[in-house]
Amino acid sequence: MSVPLFQLASDLSVSRLCFGTMTFGEQNTFPETLSLLNEAYRAGINFFDSAGMYPVPQRRDTHGRSEEYLGRWIKDQKIPRNHVILASKVAGPSGQMTWIRGGPNSLDSKNISAAIDSSLLRLSTDYIDLYQIHWPDRYVPMFGETEYDPTKQYSSVPMEEQLDALQKAIENGKIRYIGLSNETPYGLMKFLHLSRNSSLSPKILTIQNAYNLLCRNFDSGLAECCHHERISLLAYSPMAMGILSGKYFSSGGTPPDARLNIFRGRYSEGESRYKLSNPVVKAAVLEYVRIAKNYGISPASLAIAFVLNHPMIASVVFGATKLWQLQEVIEVIDIHLATDIILEINEVHARFPNPCP
């Protein structure tokens, strides 16, 4: 079994499964990380996504470990650099993460340049294949928010300045391509419009937003933008932080090492979106679990296969802390969801639309 590839650009082919590294250095030790990455690589996964702020929940003591572990794996295992596609992200404004460039206060050219250089050092590499703006340097509803509030807008760095910093990084050979993350239709189209009069136009390839059975917001506005502009979606959180496995609503009790149990009260971004106390979330999850069992597949397999089935998704950004979880994800490549299953999924979605936006 080998994970198939998707061609993002003429010289950039990524595996349909992308290993997200945000647990490395927090939930996973380096030896555990090594085992997971080796197994993924053997299965044909060549695409690995990280970020300067990882692992999560973000802490001063662990800041940057995910990138460090990924870089150490490539070096220790003597993986040819051109055999893997590395993606990382620059953190935007955050008053909480004061250990990251002083906040950071903004996502200006100085911050972007400093972030790229720091990521290159931690990854022990000369270049990053896909560099993404982790979240916008402007107010947008995120992580559970659904309505735009114009009174929350603040003075932000012009997109032109951000694009200029990224263009210089490309010219200096530090990054190859650009991606956006947690973006809106307005943000995506504005970046593309501003890039049209420069050599950056063909360099913006992807948008990395959440997409799963409980969050299909992408299909409302961004899908049309991506279709016409030929931007591929990198779908993160395909399992809705593990909720779609059904383990949080199991009659046998929740596993004590489940992420939302371990970090309860410490991971605001996740808990604000994936509210276990919401009865609509529970009702929707139990319906998807029922569908999976009726068709003889695991709930996790159903969740990931559904995301892979989307025509605009280049790669599914998944996480795994255990080898058996990784193997389950890899095996989804061979699962085909028949029309009947999709119809049942859409019927549940019509009753419980996007409970985790």
Task: Give the CA-trace dihedral at 142, 212, 284, 324, to 10 degrees.
Answer: -120
Contact by Cβ (8 Å): 113, 165? yes
Distance, in Å, from the CA atom of 252 to the CA atom of 249, rounded to the nearest integer, reads 9
| 93-97: long-range contacts, CB 8 A cutoff, minimum separation 24 | 93/137, 93/156, 96/58, 97/53, 97/58, 97/63
Which residues, listed in sequence order, are joined to residue 177 by a DSSP beta bridge?
130
Contact by Cβ (8 Å): 74, 81? yes
Residue 265, class by beta-carbon neighbours within 10 Å (0-12 exposed, 13-18 middle, 19+ buried)? exposed
- Structure-block tokens of residue 193: 């419009």
Q: Which residues are catalytic?
A: 54
Contact by Cβ (8 Å): 97, 91? yes
132 Cα distance to chain centroid: 10
- Which residue shows structure tokens 């979606």? 233
Residue 259, class by beta-carbon neighbours within 10 Å (0-12 exposed, 13-18 middle, 19+ buried)? buried
